[in-house]
Amino acid sequence: MSNPLSDMEKPDVIFCIGTNMTETHPVAATRLKKAIARGAKLIVADPRRIRLAEMADLYLPIRVGSDVALLLGMANVIAREGLYDMDFMAARTEDFEEFLDHAGQFTPTWAAGITGVPAADIEKAAILYGSAKPGAIFYTLGITEHICGVENVQSLCNLALMTGNLGKVGGGINPMRGQNNIQGAGDSGAIPNNYVGFQPVTDPIVRAKFEKAYGRPLDAEKGITKVTALDRCGESIFGMLIDGENTIVSDPDQQHCIHALKSLEHLVVIDIFLTETGELADVVLPAAAWAEVDGHFTNTERRIQRVRKAVDPPGEAQPDWWILSQIAKRMGMAGFDYDSPAQVFNELCELSPIYAGIDWELAASGQYQWPIPYKGHPGTPRLHETEFTNGRGKFSFTNYRDPAEVIDDAYPVWLTTGRRLESYHTRTQTSRSHGTEYLLSEETLEVHPEDVNAWGLVDGGWAEMSSRRGTVKIRVEATRRSPRGTVFASFAFPEVPINTLTGSGYDPITETAELKVCPVRIDAIDEKMY
């Protein structure tokens, strides 16, 4: 997030797109509710009429996969109406005149033809956000899990750059992270192209620093993503370690994942429970759970927080850092002689410029948000207040393109996926808690009532849903949350493996799967079969 969570209470206008915040980030969403109670206007763009949409001053029922078209249409109106901040653009961006010309091509009428959102509502949304002082943008995986995920984010950044809503109290571009430490994982180098602190592996100066710290030569090439790794299983990759990830349930194209993992000569899984992925492993190493370890999380607002062990781990379970260190040492790798999580964290701080001003003890207060460039620095709650790290802000000249697969006669229905309030990710933990299991005991397919009748379905009955990759059986739930022609299901239930259906394409830059768009066919099943 560019802005702290406290800023959620301060915008004049809030634009939420591709985020079901009240279900997936319910605690943070309380701040948004406070802003609305104070008088802030809320715009919500989502294919489903989610609970957040019921709170909105303007709801944009966007067709799945058409976000870029909507955002280009809004940019067009902001440019046409002169709602841009010329002083901000002139002082802090480049190519802004060319971008204003670019936006001029994409009228609200053009955008309406692609998105299904009335042109008048696109105009209203653009004028609301363009007039806001300040305006804030919030998004989540509904923006990024597309073949054009990067372009979706770039299009949102364009709106913020046009209007000068960056570096301001109550403004910003704010991705709500999907897990509690996903930001911290990226900070720690758990991505294939960067060392800790987002330092590129291809930079020879950076690489030399890490070679000196680690005491061994390092590869000058970028690593590969999990998508590529799975494709190479059995061909150039013969062993794999999966730590805390239930690949079989969470990754797209389940049959491809199963085939890939079964093609390995050796699979090691580290987890706190025996997951569906763990059942395929040659070795399963028991990890300590979140309440059984000491360490740090870095949350969605870049806040570094200490995690303090409440209880000892059961049996042979150990912290992940210890397990990985032991494996590395047994492989003869230098630099893994850690005795405590404090040593691991302090090494991160020593090597990462954005963590340079803190250490294990200083981070205990939970008051610091990176970047913290030196000791005594108070941290940075709000990014880009006076300048952009890399110089001037760059507009992205995006264009709309269709999803990897579109509906046709064989697969005439749009499927979109997401999460539910009552379950967490693949239910590895929530399905084992009797206090939550009863709240959501099975997955359902959300279908508009008129589609239920038109397709010969029964509310509470069963349907067969098929894509070009597979078929699942699922119980039907009639609801007006889903628009006609679009259905919704989560990917949390192994018993209803929705990821059997998904996997039609990937963003070419991030290799993020297009989990939010999948053409399907819905067929009724005789109730007597179930």
Q: Which residues contact 336 (CB under 8 A, 6 or more apart)?
A: 324, 325, 328, 329
Summarised one tens digit per residue, pLDDT across range 309-338 is 999 999 999 999 999 999 999 999 888 999
Q: What is the DSSP string of 367-424?
A: --BS---STT----SSS-SS-BTTBSEE---------SS---SSS-EEEEEE--TT--
Say how many CA atoms lie within 13 Å of 513 toward its Cβ.
Answer: 19
Distance between CA atoms of residues 19 and 1, nearest Å: 14
Residue 424 reports pLDDT greater than 80: no
Classify burial at 196, counting beta carbons within 10 Å of its beta carbon; exposed 0-12, middle 13-18, buried 19 or more.
buried
CATH of domain 5-176: 3.40.228.10
DSSP 8-state code for residue 288: P
Summarised one tens digit per residue, pLDDT across range 29-49 is 999 999 999 999 999 999 999
**What pLDDT, on the 0 to 100 scale, is given for residue 529?**
58
> In what helix (H) or strand (E) does residue 262 lie, and over which residues does it extend?
helix 254-262
Residue 419 reports pLDDT greater than 90: no
**What pLDDT, on the 0 to 100 scale, is given for residue 127?**
98
pTM: 0.94
Domain boundaries, the chain: 5-176, 178-222+287-373, 224-270, 413-529
Residue 269 reports pLDDT greater than 80: yes
Q: What percent of the chain has pLDDT over 70?
A: 99
Residue with the larger pLDDT of the pair 436 and 234: 234
Q: Which of these, 461, 462, 451, lies nearest to 486 by C-alpha position?
A: 451
The helix-helix angle for 67-80 and 108-115 (nearest 10°) equals 160
Distance between CA atoms of residues 25 and 394, nearest Å: 30
CATH topology for the 178-222+287-373 domain:
Rossmann fold (3.40.50)
Distance between CA atoms of residues 409 and 351, nearest Å: 55
**What pLDDT, on the 0 to 100 scale, is given for residue 430?**
75
CATH topology for the 413-529 domain:
Barwin-like endoglucanases (2.40.40)
**What pLDDT, on the 0 to 100 scale, is given for residue 84?**
97
| Tokens 């297009």 -> residue | 514
Q: Which two tokens stand for residue 450?
A: 């008129």
Distance between CA atoms of residues 168 and 92, nearest Å: 14
